[in-house]
């Protein structure tokens, strides 16, 4: 089975811009979660989608949003980028949260 | 609010030694405690996990010790090898009416020196 794929792998944006990240889960997985990883904070949960519905949400501002399509692919959008949004954004898919399978991440740099 | 506290932040151990990474939690509703291993440039991968009704679980060279009364759990790596050098994250899951959410510790960067 192919693993979780994320595109793009690297992104450089400037403050104020917006960005969209994409995640394709493992075939058959309907749950997709997004995390922000930074050196100081570790993995911070952003949100989880299941069958096109947001099921859980972390403590991030409304600038961070996501959606899931009928084929379980998911996108994450960050609007009005700030310097502090520079991070590795990880997507994970699962059948249950017993085992989350992570993608390689998208490295976002905000200048 | 950091619900899972992980220590140390970094750890250097000689090959063959036994690195120990500790995690503590507060919420007694957590019902599943996995450990993830992350190599540079890769996403985290599930290493080993334990449920709170078990005090110890061993898989190969990796062992989780779980102390329910102290609300602490730890990862031990026996006969550590340079290939074990990675960042390790503990996590705790809470299940609420079918919704499950993982909370991660801040990670431990482990270096095994030859």
pLDDT single digits (tens) A43-65: 999 999 999 999 889 999 999 99
Please state the rounded mean pLDDT for residues A30-39. Answer: 93
Q: What is the mean pLDDT of chain A?
A: 93
**In A, which residues are within 8 Å of B46 by CB distance?**
99-101
Indicate which of A10, A37, A43 best probes the interface with B, i.e. most B CBs within 10 Å of its own CB: A43
What secondary structure, in 3-state letters, does chain A show? CCCCEEECCEEEECCCCCEEEEEECCCCCCEEEEEEEECCCEEEEEEEEECCEEEEECCCCCCEEEEECCCCCEEEEECCCCHHHCEEEEEEEECCCCCCEECCCEEEEEC
B2, pLDDT greater than 70: no
Q: Cβ–Cβ of A43/B44 closer than 8 Å? A: yes
Of B42, B45, B101, the CB nearest to A56: B101
From B74's Cα to the closest Cα of chain A, the distance in A is: 18
| pLDDT for B78 beyond 90 | yes
CB-CB neighbors (< 8 A) of A104 in chain B: 41-43
Q: B82-103, pLDDT tens digit by residue? A: 999 999 999 999 877 767 788 9
Whether the per-residue pLDDT at A109 is higher than 60: the answer is yes
């Amino acid at each position: 089975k192919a693993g979780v794929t994320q595109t793009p792998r690297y992104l450089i944006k400037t403050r104020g811009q917006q960005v969209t990240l994409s995640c394709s889960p493992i075939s058959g997985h309907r749950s997709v979660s997004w995390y922000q990883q930074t050196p100081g904070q570790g993995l911070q949960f952003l949100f989880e989608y299941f069958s096109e519905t947001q099921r859980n949400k972390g403590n991030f501002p409304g600038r961070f949003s996501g959606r899931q399509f009928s084929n379980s692919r998911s996108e994450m959008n960050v609007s009005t980028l700030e310097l502090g949004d520079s991070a590795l954004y990880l997507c994970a898919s699962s059948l249950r949260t017993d085992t989350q399978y992570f993608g390689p991440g998208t490295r976002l740099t905000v200048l | 609010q950091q619900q899972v506290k992980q220590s140390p932040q970094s750890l250097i151990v000689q090959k063959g030694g036994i690195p120990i990474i500790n995690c503590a939690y507060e919420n007694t509703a957590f019902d599943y405690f996995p450990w993830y291993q992350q190599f540079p440039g890769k996403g985290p991968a599930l290493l080993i996990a334990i449920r709170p009704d078990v005090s110890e679980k061993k898989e190969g060279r990796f062992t989780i010790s779980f102390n329910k009364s102290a609300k602490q759990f730890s990862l031990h790596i026996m006969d550590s090898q340079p290939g074990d050098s990675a960042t390790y994250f503990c996590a705790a899951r809470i299940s609420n009416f079918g919704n499950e959410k993982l909370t991660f510790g801040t990670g431990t960067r482990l270096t095994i020196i030859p």
